A and B are shown apart, each in its own frame.
Chain A
Amino acid sequence: MASAGVGKRSLAWLRWRSPAASLERGPIPVSTRTERSPADLIPWVMLAGAAPLLAFAALPDIGAIGPTLRVALVDMGASFTRMLVAYVLSLGFALGYGYYAAIHRPAERVLIPILDILQSVPILGFFPVVIIVFINLFGATSLVGPNLASIFLIFTSMAWNMVFGVYESVKSMPVDLKEAADSFGVHGPQRFREVIVPATVNRLVYNSILSWTAGWYFLVAAEIISLSNQSTTLPGIGSFLLTAAGNHNAGALITGLAVLVVVIALLDIFVWRPLTRWAERFRYDQTPSGASEVGVGPPTSGRPLRRAADRVVRYVRVGAVRVSTPIIALRSTLAGHPRRGPPSKFARSAARTVALGIALTLSWLLLITIGVAVFGVFQQPLTAEVRGDMLSLPLALGLSFGRILSSYVLSLAIAFPLAVLVTRSPRGGRVALPVIEVVASVPATALFPLFIFALLPYLGFEGAAILMLMTGMLWYLFFNLLSGLRAVPPDLDEVARSFGLTRRQYYRRLILPAIFPAFVTGSITALGGGWNTLVIAEYIHYSASQRFQVLGVGDLLNVGTHLPNGTGYPLMVGALLVLIFAVITVNELLWKPLYRRAAERYRID
């Protein structure tokens, strides 16, 4: 055993006798500079683009730009604060929930299926309900209610993917790192600090970027909705834009957009890029020994419920369909982050048992909504107006469905040729892709006031609604198709060309089957985005006298919300239930079976 005073002499002797060690010149210099890529220029382009925008806005009346800018900045500040609060809450929630699910098997069986369903639910559909709940809690005149509602909405758009990030990081940590910690008795705060949290940093930084992108989208949406429903005016950039559109104030509209673009670009330059560089340190670049824990571990004991839950967990872990906030699907494909391919045989049996998770969460959601409904709502008799509206729900559903279908087809018609263009022609790609990235950074909802303001006369109400729906769908389809096209193995391509396939045969035999899984994934996320966007795209009340409205489920949802004295609540609840029902039915009957087929038959291994 070593004694306290090891003689210097023996140590020196030892060191001198280790020739191999002394041969090492020094630590191998590893460059910590990440490579520069053209994508680094994007935020600067955005900043540069904002300046002429501002100038353009100032043209009609130079004098007015000052005060307008000031208001826009103040509103931007309010919006940003909401984002920050929601983000901090999401971070805490993700670390707790994700970590707990990762280390406790019983908890995992419950928490993960719930999460899988929650992220399929169209968030915006709940927003009017949430606002009402919060307003009732805090009083109609106080601003606390709507602010909390908005923060809650942003939170739901940010939190789920961060939870998955933490959960994944902890579960896939190399086994021997966990063993080393156990072996040296490292538990408690030291373990959290030196083992757990560093393992999550990489994914958390990445997922934070995704969350903020999603957050901007929903932040603006939330402000638009609350303004539309005239419940209260939430000060924020979304309200600013909508009010500007209502006042036909082009200058203000453009100023607001410019401010938003600038803030997003500044965040990118001064926060996200440095953070991403710092997070490099936490990568495991040595091949981890020991398999990660998917599929390893004691088999589940008899109880069928437990078995089913385990299957759902494995299904989620293998990276199966994540109908998450659409922007996240978009961004992840854009970043080239290894988007997991179609799941293996787990998907087949697991997809069937996902129904179990659905039943669980759906009944929970249903109970809450019914509770709200029963409590405040059906105490009053239905007015004739409301009854009439409720009876028109099936028709409204049909119309909404039609709109979504039309924008889906239109988006596909644009996305597919665009994706083909980008893959076929490298020069086209180099130009088009950065442009698309810039456009994708700006939350589409911020453009809605612009559409109504500028394009309504040309497109009509239906046209404008479809256009707004398309902004939600286009990029998800595009990026998924793009990644599918890029993943076509070049040797299959060579075979096609060497056998002299005609263009038609080439597409029919090779391309279309090869991208089928990506097509399905893209469609699922696009339609998910579409359902969500309905709530804004069908009803925007942008000034005292002007209302943009087309009959549909989203429309009725909003109508029910803002009818006086709460007479409309049954309508609101009814519309919401119809919306959820539609989403989940379509998902289960159409997409998930389609996805299973895609995974089995069309997967390229």
Chain B
Amino acid sequence: MTLIEVDDVEKGFPSHHGTISILNGVTFSVADNDFLAIVGPSGCGKSTLLRLIQGLDHPSLGEIRFRGEPVDHVSREMAMVFQNFALYPWLTVTQNVGFGLEALGWGPERIHDQVERYVSVTGLVGFEEAYPRELSGGMRQRVGLARALAVEPAVLLMDEPFSSLDPLTAESLREEVLQLWRDPQLPPEAVILVTHNIEEAVAMADRIIVLSYRPSKVLAGVIVKLPRPRDRKSEAFYELTDYVYSLITEGGPPATTPSAQKGPPGPAVARPGGPR
């Protein structure tokens, strides 16, 4: 079932010299059970796209639909995890995790139980009364994750969530997110991960949307058919990473690779993975 449709979206920002076009006709869709990654060079509008999807901003042209309805206000069925954590320094971990629940109209007892559950799920037990300044970067992002999961969103939006962390912490957090994703009893139904790290995209996602340089279009939708847990050292992994990389640098699929097809930006086959 299709959850999100991004339909020929364009976005420009006014500046002193006129309008700067960031997104120039982006089209793709997200179905449930999709773990989608969006990759592209810096400034190609990946983060902007995420905000458009949630409804924090509006496209200049085109439309975004969630469950068939156009997105014209901030959707509460989606929740975002921010690159720099965006935690409120004057709220404790508990208060930060419960931040979005009061806005949903929940009562204090229900909020308390929900917070307790997701504090436990994200490994924050023992830190409930701590303030963000007392936490390491990894713990802070766990709080961000818990906050997003606590509102039980249908779609989890992640805006370069690991890029502010050191490599070791980032890696362990990626593992945890994948574990949460695998658990069928936990939300969400779909995940959209924005990242500039291609390895990360290949390691985590089922499908990768590759954006071009600004003003960006979708260069390809690449299906990642590698078995989980992903083996970073496998040849297939390397090839896929290379392929995505070359898509970006050459602005399209390389003409020389015989088995490559320029994939339409939807759930279509682009590149088989797996051992030859």
Contacts and interface: CB of A to CB of B under 8 A. Distances in A.
Interface stretch (B73-81, B206-214, B228-236, B264-272): B73-81
A198 B90 contact: yes
A24 interface: yes
Given A6-B185, A179-B82, A299 B56 contact: no
Contacts of A22: 123
Contacts of B185: 2-3, 6-7, 10
A577 to B, nearest CB: 42
B61 interface: no
Interface stretch (B21-29, B132-140, B216-224, B246-254): B132-140
A548 B121 CA distance: 77
Given A284-B89, A299-B14, A183 B56 contact: yes
B88 A198 contact: yes
B52 interface: no
Interface stretch (B38-46, B63-71, B95-103, B192-200): B95-103
B85 A14 contact: no
Interface string A286-321: 111110000000110000000000000000000000
A185 interface: yes
A24 B136 contact: yes
A2 B56 contact: no
A190 B102 CA distance: 8
Contacts of B138: 20, 24
B99 A24 contact: no
A17 interface: yes
Contact of A184 (B134, B151, B188): B151
Interface in B105-156: 117, 120-127, 130-136, 138-140, 142, 147, 151-152, 154
Contacts of B172: 18-20
B135 A1 contact: no
Contacts of A174: 84, 86
A185 B153 CA distance: 13
Contacts of B139: 21, 24
Given A10-B185, A21-B123, A185-B74, A30 B133 contact: yes
A98 to B, nearest CB: 19
Interface in A10-31: 10-11, 14-15, 17-22, 24, 26-30
Nearest to A193: B102
Contacts of B169: 20
A93 B135 CA distance: 37
A186 B100 contact: yes
B104 interface: yes
Nearest to A16: B123
A433 interface: no
B94 interface: no
Contacts of B120: 11, 15
B135 A190 contact: no
A287 to B, nearest CB: 8
Contact of A28 (B86, B125, B136, B187): B136
Interface residues of A, number: 49
A194 to B, nearest CB: 7
A179 B86 contact: yes
A187 B183 contact: no
B179 A17 contact: yes
A493 interface: no
**Residue with the greatest number of chain B CB neighbours at <10 A, chosen from A185, A287, A288:** A185
Nearest to A287: B84
B125 A15 contact: yes
A176 interface: yes
A605 interface: no
A10 B89 contact: no
Contacts of A6: 117, 185-186
Interface string A165-183: 0000000001011011011
Nearest to B149: A2
B241 interface: no
A442 to B, nearest CB: 35
B176 interface: yes
Interface in A47-66: none
A24 B138 CA distance: 10
B15 interface: yes
B127 A27 contact: yes
Contact of B99 (A19, A186, A198, A282): A186
A284 B133 CA distance: 8
B89 A183 contact: no
B123 A18 contact: yes
A179 to B, nearest CB: 7
A176 B126 contact: no
A185 B102 CA distance: 10
A195 interface: yes
A176 B82 contact: yes
A45 to B, nearest CB: 33
B48 interface: no
Contact of B74 (A14, A176, A183, A281): A183
**Residue with the greatest number of chain B CB neighbours at <10 A, chosen from A7, A19, A24, A27:** A27
A590 B175 CA distance: 66
A96 B147 CA distance: 30
Given A2-B185, A24-B139, A286-B84, A184 B100 contact: yes
A20 B173 CA distance: 8
A176 B56 contact: no
B118 to A, nearest CB: 9
A478 B15 CA distance: 44
A427 to B, nearest CB: 37
Contacts of B103: 184-187, 190
Contacts of B16: 299
A285 interface: yes
Contact of B121 (A11, A183, A287): A11
Contacts of A30: 131, 133-134
A176 B134 contact: no
B117 A182 contact: no
**Residue with the greatest number of chain A CB neighbours at <10 A, chosen from B89, B152, B172, B189:** B89
Contacts of B130: 27
B56 to A, nearest CB: 6
Contacts of B13: 298
Contacts of B99: 180, 184, 186, 194
Contact of A298 (B14, B56, B100): B14
Contacts of B117: 6, 11
A219 to B, nearest CB: 33
B121 A185 contact: no
B86 A177 contact: yes
A283 interface: yes
B90 A281 contact: yes
Given A30-B131, A180-B99, A299-B15, 14 more contacts: A1-B152, A2-B187, A6-B117, A7-B185, A24-B139, A26-B127, A27-B135, A28-B134, A177-B86, A180-B82, A183-B79, A187-B103, A285-B89, A289-B84
23 contacts: A1-B154, A10-B183, A10-B185, A15-B121, A18-B123, A20-B169, A20-B175, A21-B139, A22-B123, A24-B138, A29-B134, A30-B131, A177-B88, A179-B80, A184-B99, A184-B100, A185-B74, A190-B102, A194-B91, A194-B99, A201-B90, A289-B82, A298-B13
User: Lowest 6 A-B CB distances belong to which pairs?
Assistant: A21-B123, A184-B100, A289-B84, A20-B172, A27-B130, A176-B86
Interface of B: 13-16, 51, 54, 56, 74, 76, 79-80, 82-86, 88-91, 95, 99-100, 102-104, 117, 120-127, 130-136, 138-140, 142, 147, 151-152, 154, 169, 172-173, 175-176, 179-180, 183, 185-189
